[in-house]
Copies of this chain bind each other. A is one copy, B any other.
Amino acid sequence: MKNTILVVGSVALDSVQTRYGKIDRALGGSAVHFSMSASQFSPVKLVGVVGEDFPKPYKRFLKRRNICLKGLQVLPGKTFHWKGKYDRGLKNAITLATHLNVFERFKPSLSGEHAKCGVLFLANIDPDLQREVLNQMAKPRFVACDTMNYWISLKRKSLVKLLSKVNLLFVNEEEARQFTKEHNLIKAARIITKMGPQIVVIKRGDSGSMLFYDGEVIAMPAKPIEKVMDPTGAGDTFAGGFMGYLAASPDWRNFNTLKRAMAYGTVMSSFSVEDFSVKRVGRLSKSELNSRYDKFVRSLTV
């Protein structure tokens, strides 16, 4: 179980519109995007909640990707439903509707199997819940979490408590600034590091990502993509590739491992944006992944 990743987060139905088309009630949610990506590298167990309306084909689809769904509760009511569209530049999401539905009553409780997972990813949910999950874990060797602007403003104290217990925080650029009240990302990451996480990964969309560890900064560009159809879930897909690779590696305290994790996260998210929902990652072959990874990594080498 040392290399198995437990992910706790949202499982959703997404209705998304971009200039390239639209999709209704497609498979979405942070735990789904993360799992689809991470399972390319390591075994994944998902803990989440759906309603009675959650389509059986979606469950089959996830299981075929070797994602364990024993921890997916079904509650009376409807599945979390997000409806949104993107501006022309596909950078900013405009939320048209958020129906939390059964997700509002989500109380993650872990089985013995779950508690023994070696690696934990706390996707973006209420930091109180994230801490409850962490407290139920036996002795994970690596814990990472994500968060969002909503929790930063509404549950700051709880988030700060959580951070003292995690190894890594994934956060996007604007959230890092909001959280630390510091515009410069190196300074912002230093403030966060002092709160607990040894590693801070700042996600910057098509500007790439930055990793802070042991006083060093690594910047990596995004993989340039010509056909960006839907950016929904790109951040969780990045985290999935990163954590999936890390979970499969013997030692995370190693810059080469961390850089490879960043590169796998970058490449996975570059696939994810090429189609709606988890379609592109769903049909991704190992050889496509490796070939894009190799080419990307070669392009970085000066």
What residues of chain A have their CB less than 8 Å away from a CB belonging to chain B? Answer: 88-89, 183-187, 204, 206-208, 210, 216-226, 228, 256, 259-260, 262-263, 297, 299-302
Contacts and interface: CB of A to CB of B under 8 A. Distances in A.
A301 B259 CA distance: 8
A186 B228 CA distance: 11
Given A89-B183, A207-B208, A299 B218 contact: yes
Given A300-B300, A301-B300, A219 B224 contact: yes
Contacts of A256: 302
Contacts of A225: 186
A302 B300 contact: yes
B186 A226 contact: yes
A228 B184 CA distance: 8
B299 A219 contact: yes
Contacts of A222: 219
A221 B224 contact: no
Contacts of A216: 299
A300 B221 CA distance: 9
27 contacts: A88-B183, A184-B228, A185-B224, A186-B225, A186-B226, A204-B207, A207-B207, A207-B208, A207-B221, A208-B208, A208-B219, A210-B221, A216-B299, A217-B224, A217-B299, A219-B222, A219-B223, A219-B224, A220-B300, A256-B302, A259-B302, A262-B302, A263-B302, A300-B300, A300-B301, A300-B302, A301-B301
